[in-house]
Amino acid sequence: MSISRRKFLGWLAAAGGGAVLGKSADAASNKHFTGYPGSKGVLYDSVLCIGCRNCETGCNKVNDLPAPDKPFDDLTVMDTHRRTDDKTYTVVNKYQNPNYPKSPLYRKIQCNHCLEPACASACFVRAFTKTPVGAVTYNASVCVGCRYCMIACPFEIPAYEYDSAFSPRIMKCTMCYPRISKGQLPGCVEACPTEALSFGKRDQLLKLARERIRKYPGRYVEHIYGEREMGGTSWLYLSAVPFKEIGMREDLGVTPAPELTAGVLNAVPMVVGIWPVLLTGIYAINKRNQKVADAESEAAVTVALDQAKLEAETKLSEALAKAEKEKAEAIEQEVKKALEEAAKAQEADDSDEGEEGTGETKTEEDA
């Protein structure tokens, strides 16, 4: 039964984090899980991969991930070696072929869904679960953000949402767990046009891989990567060249992760207990600072709006006063102009009348 982050931290405060987590770590490290019978997996045949990136497209689509900076049909991105991140669950990288320089090699990278996951063995709140169907799933509701899983994973797969300030999650390939639980194919497998990806029961995939090696002895390295590495993985690989030539680790050995992490987890129970408490304190401080910042921002916005409103009203008042003044001046000018024109007209009329009076007097005198 899963517990909420709040309940877990409450238990820490009430019962003492060191003792509680010391027992949890000890119990988890002593449990060696060898995989569920009939669990599913994926066989990736790098010989058949053409580097089309269709698997990346399919993964992005079924998982509703953000669109990449460059479109999926832009194959130049493979000129730089990439790794998965919090927005990309799988990538395909290109490598030089030492045997055929003009024919590059490719490798698909994603979570390998180990039979005994290092991420699960290192997680003291058990946010990771190896499911009977084969996928390693993650429960964000119990995760405390310690990121031990990122350190423990030998394949460097789990990615942290650093740009999410208050609800960051660990992000990785889910092997399309919701889809395969319904009998559907993983998105990448469904999108592959060359059948470089095969989905099915892990034991059947091992038989398929051995058959390909037997049938084409000069085509493949006689090793199935993931059959025993780190206790075995649900993702299996075939290659035409040594796996180190396509960027894969060959130094992992066959020891399951729990055996490697048991001593570390037992040696530092107090550190494990203090860490989530410290994170919680930092979270609370950040939360309070955010609330203060929000309040200050809201107050600043209110002041700015009031100031803008006052300035607008002042400018409007000044504009109206100016308009009234200009209107009065215009009327005064028109009146003045009209009076001047009237005066001129009057002077002209008076002048005409004077001339007419002078003419009548002369006529009478002449008569």
Give the span between the Cα atoms of 311 and 331, in whole angstroms: 30
For the segment 346-366, the average pLDDT, to the nearest whole number, is: 62
Tokens of 8: 């877990």
Which of 243-252, 292-301, 313-322 is predicted with the least confidence, judged by mean pLDDT? 292-301
Three-class DSSP category at 285: helix
Confidence of residue 287 (pLDDT cuts 50, 70, 90): low
User: According to the model, what pLDDT value does residue 68 have?
Assistant: 94
C-alpha to C-alpha distance for 257 and 29, rounded to whole angstroms? 9
Rg (CA), the chain: 41
DSSP-assigned letter for residue 186: P
Residues whose CB is less than 8 angstroms from the CB of residue 44 and which lie 6 or more positions away in sequence, other chains included? 108, 196, 197, 235, 236, 237, 238
User: From residue 20, how far is each of 15, 92, 148 by CA, in Å?
Assistant: 7, 42, 18
Asked whether the predicted pLDDT for residue 207 surpasses 80, the reply is: yes
CB atoms within 10 A of CB 192: 24
> What confidence tier does 144 reach under pLDDT thresholds 50, 70, 90?
very high
Supply the DSSP symbol for 268. Answer: -
Position 81 scores a pLDDT of 94
Pairwise CA distance, residues 197 & 185, whole Å: 11
Distance CA 85, CA 110 (A): 10
Taking 70 as the threshold, does the pLDDT of residue 131 lie above it? yes
What Cα–Cα distance (Å) separates residue 318 from each residue in 309, 311, 325? 14, 10, 10
Q: What was the pLDDT predicted at 256?
A: 86
Compute the average pLDDT of residues 338-355.
77
* Residue found by looking up tokens 């215009």 in the block: 330
List, for residues 210-248, the tens digit of each pLDDT value: 999 999 989 999 999 999 999 999 999 999 999 999 999
**Would the pTM of this model clear 0.75, i.e. be above it?**
no
Query: How high is the mean pLDDT of the chain?
Result: 83
Residue 319 binned pLDDT confidence (cut-offs 50, 70, 90)? confident
| AA letter at 83 | R
- Kindly state the average pLDDT of the residues 273-291: 62
Burial class (CB in 10 A: 0-12, 13-18, 19+), 107: buried
Residue with more model confidence, 244 or 307: 244
Share of the chain above pLDDT 70, in %: 78
Q: What is the mean pLDDT of residues 312-338?
A: 83
Is residue 353 pLDDT above 80, yes or no? Answer: no
- For residues 167-173, give the mean pLDDT: 95
Give the model's pLDDT for residue 89. 98
What is the pLDDT, as a whole number, of residue 226?
A: 97
Query: What CA–CA distance (Å, rounded) separates 218 from 223?
Result: 13
Bin 27: left if φ > 0, else alpha if -120 < ψ < 50, else beta.
alpha
Task: Report residue 284 as tokens.
Answer: 């609370």
